[in-house]
Chains A and B, each alone.
Chain A
Amino acid sequence: DAGITQSPRHKVTETGTPVTLRCHQTENHRYMYWYRQDPGHGLRLIHYSYGVKDTDKGEVSDGYSVSRSKTEDFLLTLESATSSQTSVYFCAISESGTGYSPLHFGNGTRLTVT
Chain B
Amino acid sequence: TQLLEQSPQFLSIQEGENLTVYCNSSSVFSSLQWYRQEPGEGPVLLVTVVTGGEVKKLKRLTFQFGDARKDSSLHITAAQPGDTGLYLCAGNSGGSNYKLTFGKGTLLTVNP
Question: In the complex, which residues of chain B have a beta carbon less than 8 angstroms from the beta carbon of A92?
Answer: 42
A3 lies within 8 A of chain B by Cβ: no
User: How many residue pairs bridge A and B at CB < 8 Å?
Assistant: 70
Contact A98 B96 (CB under 8 A): yes
| In-complex Cβ contact of A40 among B43, B90, B104 (8 A) | B104
Contact B45 A43 (CB under 8 A): no
Question: How many residues of chain A have a CB within 8 Å of chain B?
Answer: 29
Question: In the complex, which residues of chain B have a beta carbon less than 8 angstroms from the beta carbon of A58?
Answer: 98
21 A–B pairs (Cβ distance < 8 Å), ordered by A: A31-B97, A41-B104, A42-B88, A42-B105, A43-B43, A43-B102, A44-B102, A59-B1, A94-B97, A98-B95, A98-B96, A100-B50, A101-B97, A103-B33, A103-B35, A103-B90, A103-B97, A104-B45, A105-B43, A107-B41, A108-B41
In order of increasing CB-CB distance, the 8 nearest A-B pairs are A105-B42, A99-B92, A42-B104, A43-B102, A102-B45, A99-B31, A42-B102, A48-B98
